[in-house]
C-alpha cells in the first residue's frame, strides 16, 4: 500500500491534509481513504489542532474514486468505498475544515468538498456531479449536502444535467466562498486558517456545531441548542480572557479551557 497518497502535517494550531495522487487526478483509493481516516483521528486526538486545511497536489483537487476499490457485501449492496471512508472521516471533525480547491472537483471529490466548512476555489476549478450519466446518483450524502448548501434548484440542475460548473458559477450559487487566482489559493487558505486558529478554541468548535446541526432541526430546536452552548461557554476561562482582553484593549490569549 502506498505510504504517501496523502501528506499530513501540523503547523502550530493548523493541520494540513494534502491529497497526493496527482498522476491519478487525486482519485480516492482505499489506501488514500484509510490515510485520511488516520489523519482525522490524529487531529481529533490532538487538542491543539483548531483548524484543518484540505488541499491537493497537482492540477486537480479530486476527480472521484477508484471504481475497482468499491467493495460489495453482495451484488448491489455496497459495503464500503474510498469515498465513503474519506468523506465520513472529514465529516466527523469538530474543527472547522477549509477546502482549497484547485482544478477538477468531481464526483466523490465534490462530495468530499461538500463536507468541508469553507470552500475556497481557484479560478481554474470546476465542480461536477456526473453520477446520473453513469446510471446512479451521488451516494455519499452528495444530494443532501449539495441541496442544503446551494438550494434545491441549483442542486437539481447540477445533479440532473451532470455538467461542469465553473468557479465563478460556484461562487454565484454559494458553493464556493471565494474565487482566487491559482497562485494565491494556497496562501489565502493558510491566511484564513491562521485567522480562525486565533479564535477561542471551544467557541470555534461550538460555532461549527450549532450552525451545522441547526440546519437539520427546527428553528426552535436550533435556538435551544444555541442557548445551551452559549451557556456552557460562560463557564470557560477563555470567555473570561476574552472579556478581560477587551476591557484592557489587548489581544486575547486563548487556551481552550
Question: Tell me: domain 6-197, CATH 3.90.226.10, correct?
Answer: yes
pTM (whole model) above 0.75: yes
pLDDT at position 1 over 50: no
pLDDT of residue 225: 84
Distance CA 148, CA 126 (A): 19
**Domain coordinates of the chain in residue numbers?**
6-197, 201-248
Average confidence (pLDDT) over 118-131 = 96
pLDDT digits 0-9 by tens, 184-207 = 999 999 999 999 999 888 889 989
Grid cell 484564513 in the structure block, residue? 192
pLDDT of residue 226: 84
Q: 212-243 burial, b for 16+ CB within 10 Å, e for fewer? A: eebeeeeeeebeebbeebeeebeebebbebbe
pLDDT digits 0-9 by tens, 87-110 = 999 999 999 999 999 999 999 999
Distance CA 5, CA 27 (A): 10
Distance CA 4, CA 139 (A): 27
Q: What are phi and psi of 195, to 5 degrees?
A: -65, -40
Residue 170, Cβ neighbours under 10 Å: how many? 24
Fold of 201-248: Lyase 2-enoyl-coa Hydratase; Chain  A, domain 2 (1.10.12)
Grid cell 477546502 in the structure block, residue? 99
pLDDT digits 0-9 by tens, 18-54 = 999 999 999 999 999 999 999 999 999 998 999 999 9
Catalytic residues: 111, 131
Residue 155, Cβ neighbours under 10 Å: how many? 22
Amino acid at each position: 500500500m502506498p505510504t504517501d497518497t496523502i501528506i499530513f502535517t501540523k503547523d502550530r494550531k493548523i493541520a494540513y491534509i494534502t491529497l497526493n495522487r496527482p498522476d491519478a487526478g487525486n482519485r480516492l483509493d482505499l489506501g488514500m481513504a484509510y490515510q485520511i481516516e488516520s489523519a482525522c483521528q490524529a487531529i481529533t486526538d490532538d487538542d491543539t489542532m483548531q483548524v484543518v486545511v484540505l488541499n491537493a497536489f497537482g492540477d486537480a483537487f479530486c476527480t472521484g474514486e477508484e471504481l475497482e476499490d468499491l467493495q460489495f457485501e453482495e451484488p448491489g449492496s455496497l459495503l464500503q468505498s474510498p469515498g465513503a471512508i474519506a468523506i465520513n472521516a472529514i465529516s466527523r471533525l469538530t474543527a472547522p475544515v477549509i477546502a482549497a480547491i484547485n482544478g477538477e472537483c468531481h464526483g466523490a471529490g465534490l462530495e468530499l468538498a461538500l463536507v468541508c466548512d469553507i470552500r475556497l476555489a481557484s479560478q481554474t476549478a470546476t465542480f461536477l456531479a456526473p453520477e446520473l450519466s453513469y446510471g446512479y446518483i451521488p451516494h455519499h450524502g452528495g444530494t443532501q449536502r449539495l441541496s442544503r448548501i446551494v438550494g434545491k434548484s441549483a442542486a437539481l440542475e447540477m445533479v440532473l444535467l451532470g455538467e461542469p460548473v465553473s468557479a465563478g458559477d460556484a461562487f454565484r450559487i454559494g458553493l464556493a466562498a471565494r474565487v482566487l487566482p491559482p497562485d494565491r489559493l494556497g496562501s489565502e487558505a493558510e491566511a484564513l486558517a491562521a485567522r480562525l486558529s486565533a479564535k477561542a478554541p471551544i467557541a470555534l468548535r461550538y460555532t461549527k456545531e450549532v450552525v451545522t446541526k441547526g440546519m437539520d432541526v427546527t428553528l426552535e430546536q436550533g435556538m435551544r441548542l444555541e442557548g445551551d452552548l452559549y451557556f456552557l461557554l460562560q463557564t470557560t476561562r477563555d470567555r473570561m480572557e476574552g472579556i478581560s482582553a477587551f476591557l484592557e484593549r489587548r489581544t486575547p490569549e486563548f487556551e481552550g479551557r
